[in-house]
Structure 1
Amino acid sequence: MFKDIQKKLLLKYPLLWNTKFIPMITIGIIFQILFFGLGYIDGTIDFSGKIIIDIMAYCMLIGILAAVIILILWLVAYFKNNALKSFYSKSKYSLFFEWLQIFTICFLLATFFIPFKVGKQLHQKSYYSLEETTKRCKTISTADVFIDGSFGSTEIDSLASGLIDSSGNKILRNNVYDVATSAAESAEEAIINMEYVDEAIQETIYKDYIIFNNRMYDEYSLLNRNVFEFSVISREQDSLNKIQINNWLVTKNEIEVKKLMTDYLNIIREHNLATNLDLNKWFEIMYSAPEFTEYLRIQPYLKENEADRYNSYHYRTERPADFNQNNYSKYYVQQDVLKDKYDTVSDAHTDIFVEIELLLGFLYGVLGLSLLIFSFRVTSGKSWLIAIVVVGIINLITGIITAIFSEGILYPYQILATIIGIIIYFFLIYFSNKSLKLSRIALNIALWSFTLIIPIIYFLIIEMFKPNYYVNDYYQQLESPVHDWLREHQVQMMCANFILSVVILFLVSKVIRNWKGIAED
């Protein structure tokens, strides 16, 4: 079938025949569908925690190897016939469409990770609807208060921390800075003094109690335990859920507490997770009104398997240093597995399928690869290899000059000047109709590097408006609106640069076509 298609393309659309576009597009689409399926398999979640499917690393290695082999075979077939070397007549913008086909083929072969990631996330997302996921995550999150939730920070004891003077007034950080800087003899010494001040002020002491509803509770009371955070639940809602739990406790609303525990245990049983708790025993060992400090600590992992404790979320939560970590009771529940699996489902609902930064990375990588292939196509293998050597020599020389002057910012200035100089050199030869041989190397380097001009200029402008920490007073807030705006819009710049690069290639393709008509000598 492919042979018949290729014959028809040779007669009617020789450019598509030459690039082997139709068979390569077919292979590329199959490649993408295959990795979508592999990603979907990798997205399987075993809520019991017994089976862990993780084939991503193997799939990526196989994908890279397969893509490289397919690319090499395609290039061998593609470079067999070169209409430019045979002086085959070409339309005005045929070179641009040839590059576009090269780019498309490379994109389909190089971006197999994207459908893999989309397939994996879709499968993880399909287990429960957003509404059901949010409901279950709320139950698991709030139940952590009665299992092994982390403790919240208490307020700073200003008097004990030395942040209040003898008259009862707060010591202001800037006032201390004024004294420290006035005693310094240089900007560098002032900065060192400020660092000492910061260290001293950070040595604070926290209160050993919290206040809730105008009543004092111990810092290790259940009222100071945090709920676990899931991405489907906002931080504001987490705070409200915590307040709701505390209200149930202080108002002795045993019905709601037992309902929460019942819903949680139902999820545990649904996923066949291990626990030696039942509702009555759980409520008995945790509910200790009115102070809520007399309770047993429940192990958030399977007790029989001590290895699980190192994977438990318990060891990722922060606790006060003087709170005994080892006084767990005989009771346990696989809360770590439950949080891990539902955290995955939660993230699948809230994460975007493809981050713009990841997509831009692939686009620029494919753009670079396609330009390497395209430049080899329109020039020659000899000039292409010489251009690679020249690029290496240029980088070596600029690196040495930068090292000699010990100015890191000097490197991008040199590279920018070199790129612009090479582009000007190529067009001087083009407009003067000089020998074609003199400009092949320049064209190769220009095609590889012209996309860097805008990012380099953008970076240099950012550095130009960067606040000078040694000129300004250390304790003053340093602001540079231009610098901050440029840093916040780097993604937009890279998007605009990519679009502009394609437009430039469209215009330059006509120039390259005419350039091929210049005499060899």
Structure 2
Amino acid sequence: MQKINKINQYLLENYPSIWNTRLVWMLLLGIAIHIIFFFIGFVSHGSPSTLQHTRAIDDYFSTGLVFVHIIISVLLIVGWLIFMFKNNAFKNFYPGSRNKLFLEFLQYFIIVFVSTTFYFSYMTGFRLFINYKYDDETMAKNVDIINRSVPFLSQNIEDYTLENRLSPKPFVDFYCETDINKIDKTKKYFVYHDRVYQYFRLYPKTVKQTDERGQFIYPEEEKKNKTALAYFENNNDDKSRTYYFKQQVEDLSQYIKTAAPSYYNYSAVFYDNANNPSTDIRKYRYENDINNLNNKEIYKQKQIVINRETIRILEKKSSKELEKLMEDFLAVSRDFDIANNLNARDWSAMVYHPDTFEVRSFIKLYQTKPNEIYDPNKAPEGRYGDYTKTVVVDSAAVSSDNYLNENGEIMQDTISARDFNPNLDREVSPKDYFKNNISGFYYYTSDLETFLGNVDTIKTDDFFWDAVHLYIWIAFALSVFIFSFRVTDLRSLLFSVISAGVIILAVTLFCVAVAFTFGFKGTFFILYTILVVGLLILLMPFITAGRFPKVVSSVFMIISMMAFPLFIWLIFGIVNEHQVAGCRSQVYVSDTYLNCRGVLDDFGLKISYAMIMFTFVFLYLYTGFIRKWKALPE
């Protein structure tokens, strides 16, 4: 205590402003609490199971720790204000220069900022723990083991059908047609129950011309010759489209041992180290514009690698090597605390059928209760992972009743699956085959996906720069509020709040009245009306100072300090609207409006930091007027 008194006496004699604001003690107390939150973040996710729910990076908010943060911040700030406001002498004391006055505001800002930013300490501890326990080198090895092992989990029959195969090279070069209406019966094709597969060599044709609706024109020669279309894709510049037409059927019998679901066909990348589980491009080819998938070619190369590696393991026909891979995978699963009841010996026996390596047994996505019917599309109780996967596609979905031709017209189904497979009625459908061959084993694949995604997200997410500007604005608003009270009084502060509400109401009623009276609707009218009012508010303290009672200028002075950031944002908004309006006046197709961008779109969060910089410069300059205003007689 004696040491504290000596420090306070030293500050009082040499730095009275710092002594009055309690800056030193508030910083020490704030840093101590930051260390506590850092420790909480470091130990909060010691168990891997805490990383098996979506968005673990948001646990600070979802677990309620943020409310503890708010309570501590409120207690710190209120306690600080009580001690600071006890010094009435300093309430009337006025610094001798603009710099001293601005530095007093900065002290308020620093104290409030330190007292409200415990989130960053928590997240720093959280990230440090993740980087320590799940280092990049180890995780890269684990992900490699996972991606090579998941093909043998056999939880989704659709991952093992023939159209998924991408290795060897002919499977990449040729297009696999699965619509029975588009199969050439005179050429080689492959049949599995009601599924038909045929491989085509394609040739591309790129067009840039559009019609009056802005739609790309279908190639005239192919339309005239009725050349079969495989698919099309818009190029990255969205200024051209490439159509892929069928040239001839290719026979890949030498590579295809069976048309039934086989481990040879698996090509999905379970996890691609890009912060999210993988997405199979083939599932989107007909339903979506394929160019909407980011880095599709890079991802396809990863699919080829997975398929090639899976085939390499199968071609060795070594049950011991297969079992060793599964042991490594289960060891990783134990480290990550993934729920399962697999063992390498039984699992490898389920997979090892060296004749064709057909998928003959399936593993559940979750553990079922006694007498519970397994539903692959149902999330088990207490789990919130992505279990909404279509494990099997019904025959009606594969052999659709209709499809679109090159002119966009609906063509009715004219061919039956029985035309390709006379034994269709005597065979088990893929849906029933899946149900009949569900094993008693389970593996929570979704938990593994979520865990890997959370680890990568926490490592790479820029939580500081994405959120710090919000905490800066919170600290700024509270600091200006406190600063306004210190340089004026409670009466001026209350009048400024009331006046601001009246001004907002008056501007709103004026704009509404003009719109109803003159039938005028315009964004620019509203923006420029607010701009004029804002300029008047900024000028009013200079106009009223010395001419009206001191409280009048103090009201506009407080409003100016509080609302200046909004004024800067308004200027950026007006510039943005002019840029967008100018862009839209030069385009003719309504769809291209989406490409018209302004300064707010281009700079994003940088605008917020620019506003912060301008506001602090404004306050530094404005303290000169505050000093003169304070010197005015009451």
State whether TM-score is above 0.5.
yes
SS class of match (2:306): helix
Q: Tell me: CA distance 1:159–1:413, structure 2 relative to 1, closer, same or farther (3 Å).
A: farther
Q: Taking structure 1 as reference, are residues 429 and 290 closer, same or farther at Cα in structure 2, changes over 3 Å only?
A: farther
Distance 1:249 1:485, change over 3 A: same
CA shift, 1:419, in A, is: 2.0
- Using the TM superposition, give the Cα deviation of residue 314 of structure 1 relative to its aligned residue in structure 2, in angstroms: 5.2
- 2:609 pairs, out of 495, 498, 503, with 495
Cα distance change, pair 21–277 in 1 and its aligned pair in 2 (3 A): closer
1:311 corresponds in structure 2 to: 383
In 1, Cα distance between equivalents of 2:108 and 2:50: 47
Query: Following superposition of structure 1 onto structure 2, how do residues 214-229 of structure 1 map, counting pairs within 5 Å?
Result: 221-222=262-263, 223-229=265-271
CA contact (8 A) 2:364 2:443 kept: yes
Match of 1:139 in 2: 145
- Residue type matched to 2:622 in 1? V
Name the CA distance, whole Å, in 1 between partners of 2:260 and 2:556.
Answer: 71
Q: 1:124-179 CA deviation, whole Å, 9 max, x = no partner?
A: 222122110111122223422222566579779699899xxxxx999989867649
Q: C-alpha distance in 2, partners of 1:127/1:295? A: 38
Output the amino acid matched with 1:260: L
1:351 to 455, 458, 461: 461
CA distance in 2, matches of 1:171, 1:177: 19
Query: SS at the partner of 1:330?
Result: strand
SS in 2 for 1:93: helix
Cα contact 1:42–1:55 (8 A) shared by 2: no
Residues 15 and 408 of structure 1: is their aligned pair in 2 closer, same or farther, counting only changes over 3 Å? same
Q: Which residue of 1 aligns with 2:450?
A: 340
Maintained 8 Å contact 1:149/1:225: no
Amino acid at match of 2:76: I
Matched, 1:108 2:114: yes
Q: How many residues align?
A: 485
- Which residue number in structure 2 is paired with residue 194 of structure 1? none
The CA distance in 2 between the partners of 1:225 and 1:310, in whole Å, is 31
- Residues 110 and 366 of structure 1 are in contact (CA less than 8 Å); yes or no, is this contact kept in structure 2? yes
Higher alpha-carbon deviation: 456-465 or 446-455: 456-465
Q: Secondary structure at the match of 1:90?
A: coil
Q: How does 1:497-516 map to 2 (within 5 A)?
A: 497-516=611-630
SS in 1 for 2:64: helix
Partner of residue 416, structure 1: 531
Bigger CA drift: 309-318 or 485-494? 309-318
Deviation larger for 44-53 or 146-155: 44-53
Corresponding residue number in structure 2 for 1:373:
482
2:304 aligns with one of 243, 246, 269: 243
CA–CA distance in 2 between the matches of 1:61 and 1:212? 63
- Of 6, 23, 31, the residue aligned with 2:25 is 23
- What does residue range 338-487 of structure 1 map to in structure 2 within 5 Å? 338-352=448-462, 354-404=463-513, 405=515, 407=522, 410-430=525-545, 435-466=549-580, 472-474=587-589, 477-478=592-593, 483=597, 486-487=600-601
Per-residue CA deviation, residues 28-67 of structure 1 (Å, 9 max, x unaligned), is: 1122112112222223223599999967533211221121
CA distance in 2, matches of 1:231, 1:101: 44
Deviation at 1:344, TM superposition (A): 2.7
- % same residue: 24
Report what 1:12 is aligned to: 14
C-alpha displacement at 1:496, in angstroms?
Answer: 2.0
Does the 8 Å CA contact 1:371/1:448 hold for their aligned counterparts?
Answer: yes
Larger deviation: 494-503 or 444-453? 494-503
What corresponds to 1:279 in structure 2? 344
Alignment of 1:60 with 2:66, yes or no, is: yes
Does structure 2 retain, via aligned residues, the 8 Å contact 1:38–1:119? yes
- Whether the 8 Å contact between 1:43 and 1:120 is mirrored in structure 2 is yes
**C-alpha distance in structure 2 between counterparts of 1:149 and 1:237, whole Å:** 25
How far off its partner does 1:479 sit? 7.3
1-side partners of 2:360 and 2:598: how far apart?
50
CA shift for structure 1 position 266: 2.3
Q: Is 1:38–2:103 an aligned residue pair?
A: no
2:284 matched to which residue of 1? none
Q: CA deviation at 1:435?
A: 4.3
Matched residues in 1 for 2:524 and 2:512: separation? 11
Q: Distance in 2 between matches of 1:270 and 1:514?
A: 68
Q: CA deviation at 1:231?
A: 3.6
In the alignment, the residues of structure 2 paired with residue 508 and residue 98 of structure 1 have an alpha-carbon distance, to the nearest angstrom, of: 14
1:266 aligns with 2:331: yes
Q: Deviations over 1:366-408 (max 9, x none)?
A: 1111111111111111111111111112222333344452656
- Cα-Cα RMSD: 4.2
**Which is worse superposed, 39-48 or 235-244?**
235-244
CA–CA separation in structure 2 for the residues paired with 1:48 and 1:60: 18
| One-letter amino acid of the structure 2 residue matched with residue 121 of structure 1 | R
Cα distance, 1:283–1:399 mapped onto 2, change above 3 Å: farther
Give the aligned residue type for 2:579: F
Larger radius of gyration: 2
| Deviation of the 1:291 alpha carbon | 5.9
Q: Secondary structure at the match of 1:466?
A: helix
Where 1:126 maps in the other structure, the secondary structure is helix
Q: Alpha-carbon deviations, 1:2-32, whole Å to 9, x = none? A: 3332222222211012112122112211221
Distance of 2:125 and 2:447 partners within structure 1: 23
AA matched with 2:140: T
1:489-514 deviation per Cα after TM superposition (whole angstroms, max 9, x unaligned)? 12222212212221222222222112
- The superposition leaves residues 280-324 of structure 1 with CA deviations (integer Å, 9 ceiling, x where unpaired) of 432332355676553322113334598746636451546665374
Letter in 2 for 1:388: V
Which structure 1 segments of 5+ residues have no match? 163-167, 182-209
**Using the alignment, how far apart are the partners of 2:14 and 2:339 within structure 1?**
68
Report which stretch shifted further, 30-39 or 216-225.
216-225
| 1:15 and 1:98 in contact (8 A); partners too | yes
Distance 1:441 1:113, change over 3 A: same
Instruction: Give 1:81-230 correspondences, 5 Å limit.
Output: 81-82=87-88, 85-148=91-154, 178=213, 221-222=262-263, 223-229=265-271
Partner amino acid, structure 2, of 1:281: D
Separation in 1, partners of 2:46, 2:79: 34
In the alignment, the residues of structure 2 paired with residue 158 and residue 45 of structure 1 have an alpha-carbon distance, to the nearest angstrom, of: 46
Q: Which residue matches 1:189?
A: none
- Consecutive unaligned residues in structure 2, runs of 5 or more: 165-174, 183-202, 217-249, 277-294, 373-378, 395-429, 516-520
Structure 2 counterpart SS, 1:139: helix
Corresponding residue SS for 2:360: coil
Matched position secondary structure for 2:92: coil
AA partner of residue 450 (structure 1): F
Which residue of the partner structure matches residue 235 of structure 2?
Answer: none
Report the AA paired with residue 76 of structure 1: I
| Cα separation, 2, equivalents of 1:399 and 1:74 | 38
- CA distance in 1 between counterparts of 2:45 and 2:334 reads 23
What residue number does 1:295 align with? 360
Q: What CA deviation, in whole Å up to 9, does each residue of 1:425-468 have, x standing for no partner?
A: 112334x6764232000000000011222221212222222267
SS at match of 2:572: helix
TM-superposition CA deviations, 1:164-205 (whole Å, max 9, x none): xxxx99998986764999xxxxxxxxxxxxxxxxxxxxxxxx
